[in-house]
Amino acid sequence: MSESSGVAVYGEIADGKLLPIALEGLGIGRKLADSLGQEVAAVLAGSDVAGLAAGAFAGGADRVYVVDDPLLKDYQPDAYVSVMEKVIGQVKPRVLIMGQTDVGRDLAPRLAFRLGVPVTMDCVELAIDPASGRLLQTKPVYGGNAQAVFTSDADPQMVTIRTKAMTPLQPDNSRKGEVVKIAAGLDASTIRTKLVDRVIEDVAGIRIEDADVVVAGGRGIGGAEGFAQLEELARLLRGAVGASRPPCDNGWVPDTVQIGLTGKIIAPELYIAVAISGSSQHLSGCSGAKTIVAINKDPEANIFRQARFGVVGDWKKVLPAFTARVKELMAG
């Protein structure tokens, strides 16, 4: 149909490193490109980022486009949209993959509307339709109650991918390829929004994204004091404390520990959900856990449909006894 060819992956960078989502994008990008019999290109935009090309090759790219400019030091929508529009105009990929991250959520829809193509946000599955050669874009809708499969006739076929939904390749450091530099050509006067400050609200201990065990509480915990008890269990299991949205909205825990569709997507070995009803939006964030254990006083709670083990009961009675027994078992 068009002169477009190949799969382009936006290689998101933070603190001078290629993010895991970039490698997840390259992993699926490689698969799609192989089934199309075409190339994978990585796009790296930032300030002083040329050194990251090797990582993109190792992750599956055949070619790396680098846009290096001091104006790209921090993510700024007007600058990044303009640069990406230029890059896509030159690369002309058939498929463009970005991550469903702070940046991707902001950049992808704006770029799509600028390019005049649709974008499917937060895809959990991507495949090439053998009949049409077009990209089948599967994404959860209705908060995760359903999934929809979309296609677009226009190129690039744009998607963002959900964190941890796609598998990165085993890095292969022997892989090499061509690095192509593209000038940003930015006019600073077109940059309208200005980043004044970036505030990191660090949570002590292990980050929930990295923890093997997450003990999470919901609205039924009732207050910050209850979360102190979850903290005790989490410490014992060397895990982290997470929450559904209401405890964050109520200020019992920081917003940064929210798990779900609009919070963090995690995939720990063990997820203990205490007084969480199990809304589809919450489960979107934790259904990748290997084992879910639920404590809830309502036997009808939806969380029991996803949990592998459970207790029906008041967490105030169940949790202290559970923690005590876990401690004994771990000691002995």
Partner 1 sequence: MNIIVCVKQVIDPEAPPRSFKIDAGGTRAEMQGAPPVIDPYGEFAVEAALKVKEAAGNGKITALSLGTGLLREVVKKPLAMGADALILLEDAAFAGGDGWSTASALAAAIRKTGEYDLILCGREASDTNAGQTGPGIAAILGLPCVTLVRRIDVAGDTAKVERVTSAGYEVVEVPLPAVMTVSNEIGEPRYPTIKGIMAAKKIEPVVWKPADIGIEPSQVGASGRRLKMNRLFQPVHEGKCELASGETPEEVAANLAARLREAKIF
Binders of ligand FAD among 223-282, rule CB under 6 A?
244-246, 258-263, 275-277, 279, 281-282
Within residues 11-70, the interface with partner 1 by CB under 8 A covers none
State residue 142 phi and psi, 5-degree precision.
50, 45
Residue whose CB is less far from partner 1, 130 or 198: 198
> How far is 43 from 48, CA to CA, in rounded Å?
14
Contact between residue 272 and residue 215 where contact means Cβ atoms under 8 Å apart: yes
Alpha-carbon torsion (234, 260, 102, 224), positive or negative: negative
Task: Return the residue of 76, 137, 163, 296 that touches ligand FAD, per CB under 6 A.
Answer: 296
Q: Does 285 bind ligand FAD (CB under 6 A)?
A: yes
Contact between residue 65 and residue 44 where contact means Cβ atoms under 8 Å apart: yes
Q: Does 244 bind partner 1 (CB under 8 A)?
A: no
Measured torsion, CA atoms of residues 73, 75, 76, 80, in degrees rounded to the nearest 10: 90
CB under 5 to 8 A by kind: which of partner 1, ligand FAD, none does 264 bind? partner 1
Q: Does 140 bind partner 1 (CB under 8 A)?
A: yes
CB under 5 to 8 A by kind: which of partner 1, ligand FAD, none does 289 bind? none
Task: Return the residue of 301, 304, 307, 323 that touches ligand FAD, per CB under 6 A.
Answer: 301
Q: Does 315 bind ligand FAD (CB under 6 A)?
A: yes
Residue whose CB is less far from partner 1, 64 or 214: 214
277: left (phi over 0), alpha (psi -120 to 50) or beta: alpha
CB under 5 to 8 A by kind: which of partner 1, ligand FAD, none does 62 bind? none
Quick one: which H or E segment has residue 39?
none
> How far is 304 from 327, CA to CA, in rounded Å?
25
Report the residue count for the chain.
Answer: 332
Residue 328 CB, nearest distance to partner 1 (Å)? 8
CA angle (122 as vertex; 116, 128 as ends), nearest 5:
75
Q: Coil, helix or strand for 279?
A: coil
Within residues 80-139, the interface with partner 1 by CB under 8 A covers 101-102, 105-106, 108-110, 112-114, 117-122, 136, 139
Q: Does 276 bind partner 1 (CB under 8 A)?
A: no
Within residues 198-217, the interface with partner 1 by CB under 8 A covers 198-202, 213
> How far is 129 from 237, CA to CA, in rounded Å?
44
Q: Could you list the residues that contact ligand FAD (CB under 6 A)?
A: 143, 218-220, 244-246, 258-263, 275-277, 279, 281-282, 285, 296-298, 301, 314-316
